[in-house]
Each structure stands twice: as structure tokens, then as C-alpha cells.
Structure 1
């Protein structure tokens, strides 16, 4: 019995299982009890870890530029980042490093970076790059005095080590899935805040549609906040305005992240539409909530554990060698088909064929 087996039986992520077994916060009491019960019933025995070093090898800082857009002030409560941090902390501990946390004001980057590197006396920095553009990262490069790795974005022309999701691949997988099911009437729900990750996901999605000779009508592209898990009045307003024109709701919707997808499912339900009977919904990220929402969300799985391990290992290599390691590593995605997507209803397929 492995963590993956317990996660599958409990219907949760591997990170959630680890939190439960180690008595850490971050999951609800019912979920924790279910995980522990499954572990006990199957006689789970945790692997014996290598004895810790007498002294910590040093410390690594997880650095965040928080704002009101993608990476919120309470970023550690956002499902994607919460899981990522868990795996980073786990990997640091395995190498004998402690993990520190710090945030910087985006309006005063250089001073903030210097303060972090000087006061924390950290051996290295893992910088969350999700919401950072090329210009800001150039400022970081000029100000950083310790080894660092940027996680969750990539700019190919910058001499910086990056660990990035293969967002183009993930978007492509989502597009191929919907087209493979027979969908031709497809809509798109984008984030109203743009980052490199979302742009790349759209590139991959559009490539899949072009290969299948499916067009995405711009009238079927909607835009909403990317960090709200509940239904959104703005989305319901946009969908209602679309329907008021006498247009039929797209038979399938791709959403740029799971937050948007879960919000879309709830918004569609309130408008009287059934997922997936009336409309299929596909997300991106595979956060733990993707298996809690009803129906369970079809989505693109991001290898958060793999990304975290690569970031820590690359940074420690740079710390130990004393040389800047400027590799750029892209981690492929996996497509996860669940209950929120299905082939279009026969009536829809017939009308499309006649059209």
C-alpha cells in the first residue's frame, strides 16, 4: 500500500494524504478521518526515512510576489500553491534544508529582493514566477545576490534557471479530448488577468482545434476572474447576454484553470444547465477540489510534485557547486478524464452534421 493507493481510495490528492498522515493542517476533519481509516484498514506502514543530519545544511527561501490577481496575499491557501509548497518543503527537508517564506512588494522589487537575501541569510531562493513578466524577472536578476530558481513560468531568452509546466501540451491535450469526443461547438472561458501560462494554454488548445478543423468563434470566448471557486455573477451575466442573442450555449467549454472550471460548473448549474448533459467542462491544474466538485472535473494534471523536486534539486546543485545553473526544464502534463465531459448529445451531433 502506497500513498498513491490511499489517495485513489480516498478520492483525494497525494498531498492531502501526506498532510493527514503527518498530522498537518490544510484538510478538513472528515477528509483526514477518511484517509486515516483507509490507511489503518490496509495496514499502511510509512517508509523509514533516512536519519536527519546532525545539523541543517542550510535554508532555502520560498519567495512570492503577491498581488490581487493570480497570486493572492494568502497564496498558501490557494489549492495549487498549497500543494506545490507542501512538496517543496518535503524535498527541502529530505536534503537537510529548512524552508523559509517571504513576500516582496511588486512596487519596490529591488529593495525587497535585497532585504530578503540580506536579512534571511538564505542559501538560495525558489521564486514563484506564476505572475511575473519578463521585465520584472530582469530586475530580480539584477538584484539577487544568492542562487535562485524560478518556478512556474519561463522566458527562454533570460539567463535564469526555470522549472515550467508544459502549458502548450496541456492545452493541446484538452482540445484533442473535446474534439475526440465529437465536439465541434466549443467555447472558451479565459482568465481576465493574463499571464504567460494562460497564453500558452490557449496556444496549445487552438493548435488542437486547427488540426481537427474546428473553429473557435470569438463570440464564444468569455472572460472571468481566475481565483474564485464559487459561482460568478460576471460569468452568468456574460452567458445570459450570449443566450439573449438567440444563440445556443456551446456544447463544450475549456477553462484556463480549475478555479474557472469549478466556478463555471456552479454558474451553469444556477442558470439551469446540466454538466455534462448540456455542456461539457474541462479545466487545467488538477487541484484537489477537482475531485470534490460535482460532477468530478475533467482536467489537465500538472506534476506539482515533480516540479517541486526539480526546483529544489536544481537550486541545491547551484548552492553546492557555487556555479549558476541556468537550465530550463519543462515538465509535461497528463490528461485526466472524469465526469464533467462527455460526447455531445445525439441531437446536437445531428444538427451539427446537417449544418
Structure 2
């Protein structure tokens, strides 16, 4: 605690009182202390805070407000969570986090008023908001978000293996010039998918004596957290000889298909595309999209299972669960092995 106190120029006792959620300490000071602790590498454990003694029968599922517009992906995760909560006689309370507002103002009232027994936090939520929820004493589990500076239970898809599987499949189909479309700074999931694709390319043993290549392009962020490929950079990449694209999510893949058509090319005859998340639209677009399934319903169910365990055993050691992915093969990838014969 002395390191935190020295960093902020306050007393060690004030740090201790802020971390224990002393009611006489201002919210601003508590937030500064928690964020400084995280910055200095000190894990914050929500079990140290005061947990409400009474049960409400409600559990909050929290995510950035922008994610609420993406029912195609998050609807499946929420559905899995609701199914498990219903089985355990709990009700789901869906809340949006205003990540563009100050931490204290950005949380929904069900959290600030402690009207829930626990919370599952999903998506790209900054660590300061997560720490603020933890400070209320409400048990917290993270789903599809990584905050390794916090001692919390996590449930994630095995994004590294998924990215590796997607790139490996394209290599097996004869593609040697691959493009990864996804900004690793956008999310932990994107970074892991990129790392997996890089591993597949690095480990691939070519029989024709030509080492595969992997280039990169960063999408642009649109309203509602939708991602699209920048036209100029994408066109330049295709002119550089790329024959296949690994997309960090299906939204990027749909953008790729649109731009491929706009350039007068076709998928999969000219360019093969693989997405990630396997949303329902993958099945009915033309061509149907090959995509890595992240088992969204199971992410929601397992997050609730961990939360219920945390509510009963607040001092149990946190767990991180990685769920296996599966490549769903459809019509957006061409086999070009004969091109080397």
C-alpha cells in the first residue's frame, strides 16, 4: 500500500480505507486509488469488499451501451446467461454501461443501488468501470473480456486457437498470401485471434518451397461498434497478391465481401474469406461465410455458473475458462492447391 500512497501523495491509511470502500472516503479518491493499484500491478479482489447480506433474486448482465445494438452477437450470450439464471431461480437484469461518462455516473442504478446479487460483465468495458462495480461488494464475473490485473473469474472463447485454426484451414486449401483484418488494440479477443493466425503461418511447412506471408490491415470503427475495412488500404492489400483473408469478426468479414464485389472480384473464386463469431447472417448471405464459432450461448451459461459459485464461495480462487472454438466451413473459401501443380 505504501507504493500506492507514494504514487498519489497520500497516506497509507487513506489508501487502506479507500480500498476497503470506507463510506467516508470520496468516490473520486476511491477511484484514483483503485486505478493506481491496478497500474502498479496490485490485484484487486472483490471478495475483500462488503457483500450485501440479503438476496434480491436478480443478477445483472452489464455491457457497454453500444453493444446493446448488436443483438446478432450479444443476444446469444445473453440468452445463454438467462437460461442458466432461470434454471437457478434468478432473474436477469440487463444494464448498459455508459463508457463515455465518468466512472461513477456510467454505471446503471441496479449496481449503484445494489439491487442485484451479482453481475456478469461482458464486452469492451474499461477496467475502471469494472473496479467500480467490484467496489460495491457485488460478486463479478467477466465474459468475453480480459482484465488480468483484477482477481476475477473469466470466461472466454479460445481465440488464439480459433485464429490459428482459421489461418491453418486457408493454408491447407493452398493459399500462401494471407491478410489478417483486425486491430489487435481493439480488444483482447482480436489480439489473440491475430496471434493465432501468426502462429499458424509461422509453423506452416510448405511443400512447394514458398513460405506463406501474412499482412495486416486495421478496420475502422463505425457507429454501434461495427467495424469496416478502409477501402484504400484493403484494395492495396488485394493488389499485393492476397488470396485469402482471416477476419477478426464477422462484421469485418461482411465488409470484406462487400468491398471484394465493389472491386469487381468474386468470393471465393478470387478471394477467400473466413470470419469469426459465426453469427446467423453467415448462413444466408451469398456466398455463405466460413466462420469460427465461439459458442456464445455457452459463454453466457458458464459465466453464470461461475457467478453463482462466487456468490456461495466468495473466497474461492478465481478461475479463467477458455472454451474451444469450431471452424464452420461454408462456401467462402476456395481450394487452390491445383494452382501449384
- TM-score normalised by L of structure 1: 0.71
**Contact 1:282–1:341 (Cα < 8 Å) also in 2:** yes
Cα displacement (A) at 1:148: 1.2
Q: Measure the CA separation in 2 of the matches of 1:91 and 1:308.
A: 8
Query: Partners in 2 of 1:341 and 1:90 — Cα distance?
Result: 35
The residue that corresponds to 1:123 in the other structure is: 117
Give 1:151 deviation, angstroms. Answer: 0.6
Match of 1:146 among 131, 138, 148: 138
For the aligned residue pairs, the C-alpha RMSD in angstroms reads: 2.8
After superposition, the C-alpha distances for 1:252-301 in whole angstroms (9 at most, x for unaligned) are: 11111011001111211121111001010001111111111111111111
Give CA deviations for 1:214-270 in whole Å, capped at 9, x if unaligned: 4435xx4222236689x9986333233456xxx444111111101100111121112
**Structure 2 runs not aligned, ≥5 long:** 1-54, 206-210
Q: In the alignment, is residue 198 of structure 1 matched against residue 190 of structure 2?
A: yes
Distance in 1 (alpha carbons) for counterparts of 2:227 and 2:147 = 32
Instruction: Note the C-alpha offset of 1:83.
Output: 1.3
Distance in structure 1 (CA, Å) of the matches to 2:56 and 2:116: 11
TM-score by length of 2: 0.73
Residue equivalent to 2:232 = 237
Alpha-carbon distance change, 233 to 82 in structure 1, aligned in 2, over 3 angstroms? closer
Partner residue in 1 for 2:252: 260
Aligned length: 280
Change (3 A) 1:226 1:212: farther
| Equivalent residue in structure 2 for 1:337, among 323, 326, 329 | 329
Matched residues in 2 for 1:78 and 1:113: separation?
Answer: 21
Which residue is 1:15 aligned to?
none
Residue 281 in 1 paired to residue 280 in 2? no
Aligned residue for 2:111, secondary structure, equals: helix
Deviation string, structure 1 residues 287-326 (Cα, Å, up to 9, x no partner): 1111111111111111112111111111112223454562
Give the match for residue 93 of structure 1: 86
The one-character-per-residue Cα deviations of 1:31-89 (angstroms, maximum 9, x if unpaired) are xxxxxxxxxxxxxxxxxxxxxxxxx97111111233xxxxx16x254311011111211
